[in-house]
């Protein structure tokens, strides 16, 4: 894994400076021959924060474990985020608002750096991933109705290609493949793993 300063320099060059207007990544990346039935309406806009916590020992990624009773993506590991409201004014404001609502992370601790590729989910959301550098000193207060736990994973683990695997499960009577990054008792998969792969691809291709 490269040093933090070099990684951040590469990251700055690799990220989009404005939100991508189209989706170039998504849940179908590994299933091009089995596209799901999509609604005629355009995908709903959403944003997530990809929080890189700057510790002296290196960068960590902050992730949430969603509660088991939610109507969608229950019990899954996710970036903090959600739908973009009209009052937000864009994906950065939405990602920061959702991160504070879900985890208690105050926006004053986050420096937005840029955007990953747009990501289309199987639930028909166009997700804009906002990468942010988080300085230490924040205090977390997870929203118990949405978030069971908030935890950090070393960026070095997530950027190591050896730690990303392809798994599958049956969905709508078809075997669908997806990326996964098991980390101890945590199972990072689906859209979250796909966005992390996009982060690695962009940084190390630049």
Which domains are seen in the chain, by residue range? 4-17+44-154 (3.90.79.10)
Q: What pTM, to 2 d.p., does this model score? A: 0.93
For the stretch 114-136, pLDDT in tens is 999 999 998 889 999 999 999 99
**Alpha carbon distances (Å) from 136 to 5, 75, 104, 106, 166:** 16, 27, 14, 11, 33
Residue 101 structure tokens: 């609502």
Handedness of CA 29, 59, 80, 91 (dihedral sign): negative
What is the predicted pLDDT for the residue at 72?
A: 57
Decide: residue 123, CB within 10 A, 0-12 exposed, 13-18 middle, 19+ buried. Answer: middle
Q: How much of the chain, in percent, has pLDDT values that exceed 70? A: 92
For the stretch 48-70, pLDDT in tens is 999 999 999 999 999 999 886 65
pLDDT averaged over the chain? 91
């Amino acid at each position: 894994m490269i040093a933090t300063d070099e990684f951040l320099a590469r990251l700055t060059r690799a990220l989009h400076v404005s939100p991508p207007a189209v989706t170039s990544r998504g849940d179908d990346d590994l299933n091009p021959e089995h596209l799901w039935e999509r609604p005629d309406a355009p995908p709903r806009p959403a944003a997530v924060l990809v929080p890189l916590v700057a510790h002296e020992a290196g960068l960590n990624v902050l992730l949430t474990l969603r509660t088991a009773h939610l109507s969608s993506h229950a019990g899954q590991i996710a970036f903090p985020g959600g739908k973009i409201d009209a009052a937000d004014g864009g994906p950065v404001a939405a990602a920061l608002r959702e991160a504070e609502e879900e985890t208690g992370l105050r926006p004053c601790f986050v420096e937005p750096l840029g955007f990953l590729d747009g990501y289309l989910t199987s639930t028909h959301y166009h997700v804009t991933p906002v990468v942010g550098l988080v300085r230490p000193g924040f205090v977390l207060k997870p929203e118990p109705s949405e978030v069971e736990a908030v935890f950090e994973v070393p960026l070095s683990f997530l950027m190591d290609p050896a730690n990303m695997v392809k798994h599958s499960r049956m969905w709508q009577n078809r075997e669908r493949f997806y990326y996964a990054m098991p980390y101890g008792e945590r199972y990072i998969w689906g859209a979250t793993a796909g966005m992390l792969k996009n982060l690695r691809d962009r940084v190390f291709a630049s």
